[in-house]
Amino acid sequence: MTDGGDNGLSSAVRAQAALKARIALKYREMAVISDDQYRITQTAIRDNHAHQTPLHTSEMLFSKCMHDGRYSEASIIASLAVLDSNTPVERAHFTLLQAEACLLRQDDMRAIRPLLQQAADELAHAGTHDDAWHQAEAMLEDMQAGLL
Residue 128 CB contacts under 8 Å (≥ 6 apart), including other chains: none
Distance set, CA 81 to CA 37, 54, 91 (Å): 19, 8, 8
Q: How far is Cα 148 from Cα 77, in angstroms, rounded to an integer?
A: 27
pLDDT computed for residue 52 by the predictor: 74
H-run or E-run covering 38:
helix 35-48
Q: H or E element: which one contains 59?
A: helix 55-68
C-alpha–C-alpha distance, residues 117 and 107, integer Å: 17
The whole model's pTM is what? 0.90
* 33-73 per-position pLDDT tens digit: 999 999 999 888 888 765 678 999 999 999 999 999 999 99
Q: Which residue has the higher pLDDT, 94 or 42?
A: 94
* The pLDDT of residue 7: 55
Q: Between the CA of residue 48 and those of 52, 58, 64, what are the distances in Å?
A: 10, 15, 21
Per-residue confidence band for 89, with pLDDT thresholds at 50, 70 and 90: very high
Chain-wide mean pLDDT for the chain? 90
Q: Is the pLDDT of residue 3 over 50?
A: no
